[in-house]
Every structure is written in C-alpha cells, then in structure tokens.
Chains A and B, each alone.
Chain A
Amino acid sequence: DVKVTQSSRYLVKRTGEKVFLECVQDMDHENMFWYRQDPGLGLRLIYFSYDVKMKEKGDIPEGYSVSREKKERFSLILESASTNQTSMYLCASSRPLAGGNNEQFFGPGTRLTVL
C-alpha cells in the first residue's frame, strides 16, 4: 500500500517562528503536493513538485516555500509563521498519468496552530 506520512499530527508555533512541515512517501511517486484545508473552503493547493529539486506555485503560495531534495521527501516551509496560517496541512503524492493510476494519495494531515 502507498503510504504518505507527515512529521507531526499537531503542531503549535508562535508568530514569527520558522516552521517546517515534512512529508515522506514510500512509493517512488514523482509528483508531490501540499494543500491547505480550511472549513468552508475545501482544499487549496499551495505548492507542487513533479521531480526532485523542481517546484511550482499552486493557488495560494504566498507566505510559503518548499524544498524537494530527495524524491521521497517534500517539505513545506513557513518562513515567518502568522496567525492566518493556522490550518490543516495535507501532503499528497501521485504517479504521472503515463504511469497509469494518477490517483493522489494523502497523508494524515498536520493541524498547525500559530499563536
């Protein structure tokens, strides 16, 4: 089974702190994604990556950056956390369409609270 893991289920940080959210997948997927989930807004794409060291902005990249140094790991970075970044963060991975099944597999999520 595909497994996507995230480093923390719950995280509490203070305004201005630098925050790292880590995501690891074990199925050799090329594509990885970071989404933010807020009540009444659904999931919104922050950043995505289709290869090592490649990154692309999604719909709401402001205030975030990402790093993908290894194929299996995709990190989301909040350079200076703000209270409006309090949210649930979901990581996902998938194969390219040419690989057949393009289903996205999700991690369990990290509930980040910024005080």
Chain B
Amino acid sequence: QEQLVESGGGLVKPGGSLRLSCAASGFIFSDYYMIWIRQAPGKGLECVSFISSSGTTIYYADSVKGRFTISRDSATNSLYLQMNSLRAEDTAVYYCAREEVAAFHYGMDVWGQGTTVTVSS
C-alpha cells in the first residue's frame, strides 16, 4: 500500500526550529517528486517546498526561503523539512505529497495525514 507518514510537528517558540519527516512506503521513492504543502488554520493549500526525484531541482516559497531546507534520503525512503527561525505565520498543518513528473506532471496522488506545527510563545 502506497503511504506517506509525517512526523515531527509540535509547539515551538518564535525563532525556534523543527525538523519534519515524511516516511514513504509501498512505492519506488526515487521515482517521484516530493512536495511539502501547508495549510494554515481555516486557510487554503500552499506549496512550501519541493524536491525533484533526483534531488537536483529544489524550490522554496518566498515566505520560507532562507529559513527552511528540504532534503530526501533514498536509502531510508524519507523526506525531510528543516525549519529554522520559525514565525507565528508558519503555524499550519504540514503535508507531504508525491507527484510523478515525466514529460508532464501527473498530480499529487498520495498525501500523508499531516503533522501540525504551532509557533507560539
């Protein structure tokens, strides 16, 4: 069964750090782009960061550039998001998702259950 499971969320003070993890199973991890999407309370979806299947292409939203770092480990089929200098506006549910990208994009077809990050003093 193809599955993504996030972990690492929690309550952190402004300026603090967290590392989110996303464990993939049931599919060939290295075949897929991996994406972090967040959803602030009562708000819509925002693509925070993604990393290509090879790891050579990385994107960050302007709102997190310079503070967040995405990485992937094919040996453990894991995706990570290192979040530093956290702000109140980073409070959200963070989802990881996969997308097959060949000549075209095929949609984010598997999502994790999400992990909640709360930034508050």
Whether A and B are associated in the same complex: the answer reads: no
